[in-house]
């Protein structure tokens, strides 16, 4: 933004935003009328701003959004640096430093700006690289080696960081790379290099994706496509889904589940891992710009179509530890309905889960994801009972103790015990006889500084003793009361969980009435 344009004052009717800012922020915005916006100085870089305003000569209000800052692009930053050099006689280093200070004073977000571009210009900037690639695409006698070289250089440029990806995207990298794939559709070496460049470009920058990308995905996920091309296409598909709900819906609605279902029948574990990764990405709910996503609906459809195949893979690849981890993580993300838990049970999933835990008792990843899957499956009361009937209780305790020093695995194990014993006295008794009290207390004593352990441990204690009061004495003898009271002093935000465990153990505890009122609004008694 040219400093000569600032400060700039404008007044007029405030209207509903035109949609650009609303789409970027994920919330409604306000704006001046188009007439006023059209008459702003040309050198003024418009975007999402904060500032001050008043209405009808009333009080002046600060208009801002939390954590929102003035947004500028690379060209604006470069222009200010250039002005500092040409008009003020600064060295490139001084000019860049001055530009940074100037924009920071304005509250600008410089996280996507390449700051040293004017200090040490590269031999080939990304725009030049893309122009060369575009020329090669149009040439009839272009050599494969030259195309691959340009693709590798573009990939390397994008891998330098997010600002470089943004700059490449601004110069049309997405469309040029898709054109390259189209021009060399029968050359697997070029296709793999092109897909690697696309992955580098769109990792953490999925906004570039559009309908043309859908065609590419379906073209290169066909069964006859070469192995590496297919694997990289799946990898790119996942990157397009992460942090972008609209892309997920676009990809899902193109019936990609049919492709994924077909690929699950392939024997190669690398392909299967990428298929599982895409399946999990399609059920994410991580886009803050969208109020309501369709993660549940996506999970429902994927589970309906693939659960039997996924459960079968547990048998086929039970000696592949890495793939087993991915399989359990995927199954866990799809357990959104009780009938899906039953489906896994009917397909022999509980027996397989037991066998996996017995085969890998010391694997932290297997333990962690197995415990998460157990917790998810315990959402179905029949599955919850069957897991104990199939002898999982002692295996769970053994694996949990084997991984007691691993915080994440131990937390997941405690959560699994809490889920299995919830409103299930028979399960609680089986876990008790398998040595659950000693394991729970040992882990809580081992990790007094880990809030997640203390919280999950209190749930496990509460659920085990709530319908089996005779177990309380064992927990108390092991030191449960002292641990829970120590947690109360450290962690005020999990006070309810700790006190609930103390209450069900029969310990003296002062409970606080959360909601009170006297004929008016309810209050928690907390100070505003």
Give tens-digit pLDDT for 159-176.
Answer: 999 999 999 999 999 999
Residue positions counted in the chain: 528
Query: What integer pLDDT is reported at residue 241 of this predicted model?
Result: 97
Distance, in Å, from the CA atom of 23 to the CA atom of 20, rounded to the nearest integer, reads: 5
Place of tokens 């002005």: 83
pLDDT bracket for residue 250 (50, 70, 90): very high
Choice between 58 and 186, residue whose per-residue pLDDT is larger: 186
Q: What is the dihedral of CA 225, 228, 234, 237, to 10 degrees?
A: -100
Q: Which of 65-74, 125-134, 284-293, 496-505 has the lowest mean pLDDT?
A: 65-74
Average the pLDDT over each of 84-93, 378-387, 457-466, 498-507 and give the range with the smallest value.
84-93
Residues of the chain with CATH 1.25.10.10: 366-510
- Model confidence at 47, in pLDDT bands (50, 70, 90)? low
Q: Which of 6-15, 171-180, 440-449 has the lowest mean pLDDT?
A: 6-15
Once rounded to an integer, what is the mean pLDDT over residues 319-343? 94
In percent, the amount of the chain with pLDDT more than 70 equals 84
d(CA 258, CA 520): 56
Predicted pLDDT of residue 230: 97
Whole-structure pTM value: 0.79
- Long-range contacts: 329-333, Cβ < 8 Å, 24+? 329/276, 329/280, 329/369, 329/372, 330/276, 330/279, 330/280, 331/307, 331/373, 331/376, 332/369, 332/372, 332/373, 332/376, 333/279, 333/280, 333/283, 333/299
- Give residue 518's pLDDT: 65
Please compute the mean of the pLDDT values over residues 100-113 and round it to a whole number. 84
pLDDT at residue 198 greater than cutoff 50: yes
User: Looking at residue 43, what is its pLDDT?
Assistant: 61
How confident is the model over 412-441, as a mean pLDDT? 98
Mean pLDDT, to the nearest integer, of 484-497? 94
Cα–Cα separations (whole angstroms), residue 406 to 12, 401, 411, 413, 447: 61, 10, 8, 11, 10
Active site residue 226: no
Token digits of residue 180: 């390259």
Q: In the numeric block, which tokens belong to residue 262?
A: 């077909």
Give pLDDT, residue 524: 61
Name the average pLDDT for the chain.
Answer: 88
Mean pLDDT, rounded, for 103-114: 83
Kindly state the average pLDDT of the residues 500-508: 94
pLDDT of residue 64: 46
Distance (Å, whole) CA 173 – CA 243 = 20
Contacts of 298 (CB under 8 A, 6+ apart): 248, 252, 282, 283
Tokens encoding 292 = 């309501």
Strands 51-54 and 30-32: unpaired
Question: Which of 96-110, 300-314, 509-523 is modeled with the greatest confidence?
Answer: 300-314
When pLDDT is cut at 50, 70 and 90, the band that residue 24 belongs to is: very low
Task: Tell me which of 125 and 519 has the higher pLDDT.
Answer: 125
Q: Is the pLDDT of residue 86 over 70?
A: yes
- The CATH code of the domain at 366-510 is 1.25.10.10
Model confidence at 73, pLDDT cuts 50, 70, 90, reads confident
Catalytic option among 86, 339, 482, 495:
86
Higher local confidence (pLDDT), 413 or 48:
413
Higher pLDDT, 112 or 253: 253
Distance CA 20, CA 22 (A): 5
Span 128-155, average pLDDT? 94
CA distance 62 to 83: 31
Q: Is the pLDDT of residue 60 over 70?
A: no
From CA 132, how far away is CA 150, in angstroms rounded? 8
What's the pLDDT band for 476 if we cut at 50, 70, 90? very high
> Quick check: 346 pLDDT over 80?
yes
Q: Is the pLDDT of residue 503 over 80?
A: yes
| Model confidence band, residue 435 (pLDDT cutoffs 50, 70, 90) | very high
């Amino acid at each position: 933004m040219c400093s000569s344009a600032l400060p700039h004052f404008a007044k007029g009717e405030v209207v509903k935003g035109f949609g650009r800012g609303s789409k970027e922020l994920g919330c409604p915005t306000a704006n001046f009328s188009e007439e006023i916006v059209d008459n702003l100085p040309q050198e003024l870089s418009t975007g999402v701003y904060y500032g001050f305003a008043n209405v009808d000569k009333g009080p002046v209000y600060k208009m801002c959004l939390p954590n929102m800052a003035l947004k500028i692009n690379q060209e604006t930053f470069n222009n200010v640096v250039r002005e500092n050099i040409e008009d003020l006689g600064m060295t490139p280093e001084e000019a860049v430093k001055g530009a940074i200070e100037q924009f920071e004073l304005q509250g600008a977000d410089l996280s996507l700006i390449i700051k040293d571009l004017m200090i040490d210009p590269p031999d080939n900037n990304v725009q030049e690289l893309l122009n060369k690639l575009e020329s090669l695409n149009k040439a009839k006698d272009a050599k494969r080696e030259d195309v691959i070289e340009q693709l590798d250089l573009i990939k390397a440029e994008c891998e330098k960081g997010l600002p470089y990806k943004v700059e490449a995207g601004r110069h049309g990298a997405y469309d040029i790379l898709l054109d390259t794939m189209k021009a060399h559709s029968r050359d697997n070496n070029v296709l793999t290099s092109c897909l690697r460049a696309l992955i580098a470009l769109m990792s953490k920058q999925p906004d570039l994706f559009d309908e043309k990308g859908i065609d590419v995905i379906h073209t290169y996920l066909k069964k006859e496509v070469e192995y590496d091309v297919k694997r990289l296409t799946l990898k790119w598909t996942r990157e397009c889904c992460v942090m972008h709900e609209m892309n997920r819906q676009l990809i899902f609605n193109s019936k990609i589940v049919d492709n994924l279902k077909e690929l699950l029948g392939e024997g190669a574990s690398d392909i299967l891992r990428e298929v599982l990764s895409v399946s999990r990405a399609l059920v994410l709910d991580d886009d803050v710009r969208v109020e309501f996503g369709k993660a549940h609906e996506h999970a429902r459809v994927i589970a309906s179509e693939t659960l039997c195949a996924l459960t079968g893979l547990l048998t086929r690849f039970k000696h592949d530890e890495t793939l087993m981890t991915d399989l359990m993580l995927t199954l866990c993300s799809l357990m959104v309905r009780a009938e899906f838990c039953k489906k896994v049970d009917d397909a022999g999933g509980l027996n397989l889960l037991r066998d996996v835990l017995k085969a890998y008792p010391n694997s932290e990843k297997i333990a962690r994801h197995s415990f998460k899957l157990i917790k998810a499956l315990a959402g179905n009361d029949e599955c919850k009972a069957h897991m104990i009937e199939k002898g999982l209780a002692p295996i769970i305790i053994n694996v949990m103790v084997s991984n007691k020093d691993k915080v994440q695995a131990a937390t997941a194990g405690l959560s699994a015990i809490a889920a299995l014993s919830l409103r299930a006295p028979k399960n609680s008794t089986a876990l008790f006889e398998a040595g659950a009290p000693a394991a729970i207390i040992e882990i809580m004593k081992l990790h007094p500084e880990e809030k997640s352990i203390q919280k999950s441990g209190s749930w496990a204690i509460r659920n085990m003793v709530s319908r089996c009061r005779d177990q309380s004495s064992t927990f108390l003898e092991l030191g449960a009361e002292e641990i829970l009271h120590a947690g109360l002093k450290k962690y005020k935000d999990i006070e309810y969980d700790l006190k609930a465990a103390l209450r069900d153990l029969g310990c003296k505890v002062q409970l606080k009435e959360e909601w009170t009122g006297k004929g008016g609004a309810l209050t928690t008694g907390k100070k505003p």
